[in-house]
Structure 1
Amino acid sequence: MLLAATHSGSFHADDVFAFAILKAATDGAVSLTRSREAMDWDRAQVVFDVGGVYDPDQGRYDHHMRDKPLRPNGEAFSSAGLIWRDYGRAAIAHLQNTATPGQIDIIWAKLDAGLLRDIDLMDNGAMDRHPGHFSALLETWNPTFAENSADENASYHQAVMVADNVLARSVAHAFAAAIAQDAVADAAERAADPRIIVLDSRLPWEEAVFDLNLTQALYVIRPAGKDWTVSAVPPERGSFAQKKPLPDAWGGLREAALAAVCGVSDATFCHSARFVCGAKTREGAMAMAGLAVEA
């Protein structure tokens, strides 16, 4: 059983989420003391968000000092980010026990760059606070002044339960992204033409293309039910543009009209914005992608 301690009183998203991470990392084998007494901290193996010391070797994870721990880019950690750095991979391994070490690294990095970084920034006042932010929502579990009979520790653990679920679902989505990245990497390695990536299942590919730095990729082919689609790769992450839009003559056409123009007999459609088209067979989709590359 891991003995952990943090401060009592009002809580923030970082000390709530830090404990959720420890729970996942130990598969629940952790007990928590919430206290302002140094003697209680001294009895703990891990102390976070309190104590004035950052020393991972001693299990001390505070971030409120003048010489506070910083990320490589200079952004300040909160207790959540610090606990994630040392315990995040163990948490992932328990939450997704089929993940490979490489996939665990991908999941860890995705959450560190997104959810954990946002909690860190919000806690350190480096991000504009707004009511809809996850940190602000989590902190609404603090009892209000009108709730005189509210149990502060019970409220904290209710917030931890929310954080438990958010952590589990965030890891699940990142695990799916890691699986997709592995599949895209394998498809790219097998591609006869690096400009055309052919996937065997309908999985999300956009993030993987950029995470893997597949700079030559122009089109991604994948199944869509019984049919197949060809999607144009955007020039940068999150863009609605395309590196090489599908041929202008195809835009907005369907079935026979499209087949007559492109010469692929089983062509089914081409979106008017020319970012995606389709065919009834894998071979048809590959033929359309080949034509688009050479157009």
Structure 2
Amino acid sequence: MRIVTHSGTFHADDVFAYSVLRDALDTFEFGRTRDMALINSADIVFDVGGIYDPAQGRYDHHMRDLPRREDGTPYSSVGLIWRDFGRKALPRLVPGIGGDVLESVWQDIDATFILAIDQADNGVATAGQSHLALLVEAFNPAWDSGQSYDDAFLEAADFARGILVRACRQAHAEAQALSLVMGAARQARDPRVIVLDRKLPWEKAVFEGGLRDLLFVIYPNEDLTAWYCRTIPPEPNSFGQRLALPEAWRGLQETEFSKAAGIEDGVFCHPGGFICGARSQGSAVRLAEKAIAARY
């Protein structure tokens, strides 16, 4: 199999597209050229050639009638390659990924990481100085450099893969966390309180999983020396609370907090009323129950 993209100056979309293909396909010959004879003879062509036809392995996006996402956003070459080859690449990007979360991870990366490159490449969104697209483009050789564009491209591709791996593994971790939180919610005695056996991101599961009755989540710190009772915000990334902790607890610590809350091993209650803690899971659960009883 022979894969081709354009020679000369490269951008984030063609660099990441190549990186995805390296993990999606076992082996292939790769070339960078603008020679139409070489382009026409290749099995897969991306970001060059003037043709978009996935059935023929043609993934250019520089024509007037360019391919678009369902929302109208133009695809770049990496968006097209990720759409058709990203699922095949994921088992190498995230070793051990299960089939139960593969589609979720693919969608997460497509809707955030890949979309941002599509937008920047097509001028749909402004790319600031720290934008990933510009960081990749910085690998292009300076005018007085002795490095070839092809060597610089491969160097940029290695850099890009490292970033893509981290993004995919983060998305995988979030997908697993969502599964664990939903499992804890199904096992909860009271739908208003869930208990997690480890610290992990839970907010996405609350809103995407439709946990509308949930008021408190209980989870430990990293070394299991304390357990937190955290209120649920009314919307993502908010410090508001569906049910705030009692005013009488706020700002208190250790003995004073324990006495006010009616437990033996209290640690603190934040002045903002959105989180408090104890030294045992049982006490942390009781804090949630007491806060609910005080309200209802």
Tell me, yes or no, whether TM beats 0.5: yes
What is the deviation of 1:103? 1.2
User: Aligned partners of 1:292 and 1:110: how far apart in 2?
Assistant: 35
Aligned twin of 2:116: 118
AA aligned opposite 2:77: S
Aligned twin of 1:258: 257
Aligned twin of 1:74: 72
RMSD across aligned C-alpha pairs, in angstroms?
1.4
CA-to-partner distance for each residue in 1:97-147, whole Å, 9 max, x for gaps? 321112111211111111101100000001112211010011011112232
CA-to-partner distance for each residue in 1:71-106, whole Å, 9 max, x for gaps? 111111101111111111111112223211121112
Q: Runs of 5+ in structure 1 lacking a partner?
A: none
Aligned twin of 1:237: 236
What is the deviation of 1:215? 2.1
- Give the paired residue count: 292
CA-to-partner distance for each residue in 1:133-163, whole Å, 9 max, x for gaps? 010011011112232x321100111110101
AA aligned opposite 1:153: D
Aligned twin of 1:284: 283
User: Aligned partners of 1:205 and 1:143: how far apart in 2?
Assistant: 44
Any residues of structure 2 matched to 1:189-268 within 5 Å, and which? 189-224=186-221, 225-268=224-267
User: Aligned partners of 2:99 and 2:256: how far apart in 1?
Assistant: 50
Identical aligned residues as a percent: 42
Q: Runs of 5+ in structure 2 lacking a partner?
A: none
Cα contact 1:22–1:30 (8 A) shared by 2: no
AA aligned opposite 1:123: D
Name which of 161, 166, 178 aligns with 1:181.
Answer: 178
SS in 2 for 1:182: helix
SS in 2 for 1:172: helix
Name which of 146, 150, 162 aligns with 2:147.
Answer: 150
Q: Which runs of 4+ in 1 moved over 3 A?
A: none
Cα contact 1:99–1:175 (8 A) shared by 2: yes
Cα contact 1:227–1:279 (8 A) shared by 2: yes
TM-score (norm 1): 0.95
CA-to-partner distance for each residue in 1:11-43, whole Å, 9 max, x for gaps? 11000000011111125x233111101221222
What is the deviation of 1:242? 2.2
SS in 2 for 1:51: coil
**In the alignment, structure 1 residue 9 sits paired with structure 2 residue 8:** yes
Aligned twin of 1:105: 103
CA-to-partner distance for each residue in 1:172-206, whole Å, 9 max, x for gaps? 11111111111011011111222211111111212
User: Aligned partners of 2:130 and 2:179: how far apart in 1?
Assistant: 34
SS in 1 for 2:109: helix
What is the deviation of 1:6? 0.5
Cα contact 1:121–1:127 (8 A) shared by 2: yes
Moved more, 204-213 or 171-180: 204-213
* Structure 2 CA distance for partners of 1:150 and 1:271, relative to 1, 3 Å: same
User: Aligned partners of 2:2 and 2:65: how far apart in 1?
Assistant: 26
User: Aligned partners of 2:92 and 2:234: how far apart in 1?
Assistant: 37
